Amino acid sequence: MSSVESSKAWPITPATTARVGFKPAVAVIAWLAAALLTRFYPDAARHWPLTEGLANAELALALVIGALALLAPRSPRLLRRLRYLSPWLLALAVLLSLWELLTAKLGLLPVPFFAPPQALIAVYVHDWPRLLDSLWHSALLLGSGVALGAVCGFIAGVSIGWSSAIGYWLHPVLRILGPVPSTALLPLCFFLFPSSWSASVFLIALATWFPVTVLTWSGVAGVDKAYYDVARTLGAKQGFLIFRVAIPAALPHVFVGLFMGLGASFSTLVVAEMMGVKSGIGWYLQWAQGWAAYSNMYAALLLMALACSGLISALFKIRDRLLAWQKGAVKW
């Protein structure tokens, strides 16, 4: 391809390049400044490990943002994403620099209660086997409890919303047991259940069951009666009305209940794992507090937040696939 043809294929002009804006450039400068601060400003009390590694990571991120800014005019999608993320990239650089300055460089926040960023990186580098094992056990416990609670809550919600006879018996139980915090039943569950694992699964399932039941019940009960009348006119039986009319119409409410139940289950998971288990994120947090290893505690909290956000994002992907007509109505 000649240079003339190449310029026609990629018509990059000063006006086109200017569309990227100044925000990515400011973000690049901010990350470069963060790298220089981390690398060359002396530490206050001691030399923290992996300081050079953190500075190199900040420098690499600045180079990546700069490269993306140069490529953005050729890709409208990349251009939109870069424009959208640039303020956050700038804010993260400023916050990370401020964190580094107050902890490692000036020592204004006391050690060990406040750890610099490189201390958290050191935890991920040196203690990753224990963190990974804890995350795996927490995932097994959380998955078992949430699956059990979601299935039971879905069945109970559909039953209450469809049958007034079942609702007569289950509704009072729901009103009495549902609002009670799952963690309040912790001593009783550890006494009644044969193992701490089964007790923890029950508590997580209970935390998930209540919102899923209430929202599923609300969705089934709120289905327009005209849908049932049309289906009956076409010869639909009761099973068809439940599985092909009521449940599909109630799915938006079901997913809202799943989102609420997943958030409640995480708090229950941490409390349950602090009692009688030998591995898990909750156990790791308690262990770190007992040894005053606050950098380990912050690293575990960050890992737990990322795991929770990832699970909710995956649930949103499932929701958008099943409810394509509602895609984009609620974003995460």
pLDDT digits (tens, 9 = 90+) for 106-162: 989 887 888 899 999 999 999 999 999 999 999 999 999 999 999 999 999 999 988
CA distance 104 to 97: 10
**259 residue type, one letter:** F
Determine, yes or no, domain membership for 275: yes
Residue 4 has pLDDT above 60, yes or no: no
Determine, yes or no, domain membership for 286: yes
CA distance 223 to 228: 9
Determine, yes or no, domain membership for 118: no
| Per-residue confidence (pLDDT) for residue 45, from 0 to 100 | 75
* pTM (predicted TM-score): 0.80
Q: What is the DSSP letter of 277?
A: -
Q: What is the mean pLDDT of residues 155-183?
A: 87
Residue pair 245/228 in contact (Cβ under 8 Å)? The answer is: yes
Q: Are 46 and 186 in a shared domain?
A: no
| Per-residue confidence (pLDDT) for residue 11, from 0 to 100 | 45
Q: What is the mean pLDDT of residues 215-232?
A: 86
Q: Are 157 and 105 in a shared domain?
A: no
| Per-residue confidence (pLDDT) for residue 131, from 0 to 100 | 92
Per the structure block, which two tokens stand in for 194?
């044969």
Residue 208 has pLDDT above 50, yes or no: yes
| Per-residue confidence (pLDDT) for residue 12, from 0 to 100 | 40
Residue with tokens 């505690």: 297
Residue with tokens 């262990």: 287
Q: Are 237 and 269 in a shared domain?
A: yes
Domain assignment of residue 302, given as a range: 128-326
Q: What is the mean pLDDT of residues 304-325?
A: 86
For 7-46, the pLDDT digits (tens) are 444 444 444 444 677 888 999 999 999 999 999 999 887 7
Q: Which residues contact 42 (CB under 8 A, 6 or more apart)?
A: 105
Q: Are 215 and 270 in a shared domain?
A: yes
Q: Are 85 and 154 in a shared domain?
A: no
Q: Are 203 and 257 in a shared domain?
A: yes
| Per-residue confidence (pLDDT) for residue 332, from 0 to 100 | 52
How many domains does the chain contain in total?
2
Proportion of the chain above pLDDT 90, given as a percent: 39
Q: What is the mean pLDDT of residues 232-240?
A: 84
